[in-house]
Amino acid sequence: MKKEEQTIDKIILSFKEWLEGKHSKGTNSTRVARVRRIAKYYNILEEYSCDHCESLIYSLTYTKGDKVDGNEPKTDIVINGDYISGLNSLKQALEEFVSFLDDIGYVSPAKHNKKTIFIGGFEEFKRYVGPKCRNEVNAFCKKERESHNGVCEYCGQKAQLQSAHVTDRPIIIKKILNEHFFQKSENNYEVDLELFFDLFRQEHTPIRDKIFFLCKKCHNELDNKKTITIQDIKNKRGY
């Protein structure tokens, strides 16, 4: 067995343990089997490191509309039977596997071989890398955000939800830089960006404790007007 296969095999075993008690035994073992099936076709861990499996999830998406329009499935995985429900079950299993990887804060060891290095001060880092940090947060919070069904955690109104940090993003960024990256001279960091984003993701786990999901107005009142506080939102949650 190749090293790659050993790694995914081990991780799928801990996924199996992680699933215990979440669904019925039967459901758990089909989910595990489905992830194994996907792993035969794709390098799930690499896909996860690359874009959080977003494009892989997209390629497993096949809807009634696609079928009506005569679109071919976007994946090479062969389904015996109905492609819509078959791919949908694979996708569901993969999404749960992604939640599991989020939960354990999975970081690919191989990734650190190819480095992209930023050299500069904190302000420059914020300016150039900050926007990607914001997008990353949105991407890896997507599931948790969707679980709120568009209801603001503070005012309870239906809205397009935004992700609000318990700790401000720049503080998180600064903390990671100071703890993990060597300063060549004063306020001059040398940052391996891949590693930075892994650490950045880990800082946001578990998402529930790090991010609030608010409507635009409440988010603004928390961040800019300071008329509501983090404690107010925690009180709404009951802790």
Number of residues engaging Zn ion in binding (CB under 5 A)? 5
| Phi/psi at 141 (5° precision) | -95, 0
Among 56, 191, 218, 222, binds Zn ion (CB under 5 A): 218
Residue 59 or 162: which CB sits closer to Zn ion? 162
Residue closer to Zn ion, measured from CB, 127 or 158: 158
CB of 158 to Zn ion, least distance (A): 10
> Binding of Zn ion at residue 44 (CB under 5 A)?
no
Q: What are phi and psi of 165, to 5 degrees?
A: -80, 140
**In terms of CB distance, is 154 or 181 closer to Zn ion?**
154
184, 193, 181, 144: which is closest to 164 by C-alpha?
144
- Do 42 and 34 form a contact (C-beta atoms < 8 A)? no
Stretch that binds Zn ion, among 95-103, 151-159, 171-179, 189-197 (CB under 5 A): 151-159
**Residue 152 binds to Zn ion (criterion: CB under 5 A):** yes
Q: How far is the CB of 151 from Zn ion (least distance, A)?
A: 9
CB nearer to Zn ion: give 77 or 155. 155
Helices and strands of the chain, counted as H and E runs = 13, 5
Classify strands 183-185 and 188-192 as parallel, antiparallel or unpaired: antiparallel
| DSSP E strand stretches across the chain | 117-120, 162-165, 183-185, 188-192, 211-214
**Of 155-184, which residues contact Zn ion (CB under 5 A)?**
155
The smaller minimum CB distance to Zn ion, of residues 172 and 218, is found at 218
Distance CA(2)–CA(19), nearest Å, equals 26
CB of 223 to Zn ion, least distance (A): 13
Query: What 3-state class would DSSP assign to 138?
Result: helix
Phi, psi of 53 (to 5 degrees): 65, 15
Stretch that binds Zn ion, among 87-95, 116-124, 138-146, 208-216 (CB under 5 A): 208-216
Q: Maximum Cα–Cα distance for the chain, whole Å?
A: 63
- CB contact at 8 A, 62 and 83: yes
Residue 93: Cβ within 10 Å count: 22
Binding flag, residue 215, Zn ion (CB under 5 A): yes
Task: Confirm or reject binding of residue 213 to Zn ion (CB under 5 A).
Answer: no
One of 154, 197, 200, 212 touching Zn ion (CB under 5 A): 154
**Residues in 15-34 that interact with Zn ion by CB under 5 A:** none
Give min distance, CB of 172 to Zn ion, in A: 23
200 lies in the binding site for Zn ion (CB under 5 A): no
Residues in touch with Zn ion (CB under 5 A): 152, 154-155, 215, 218
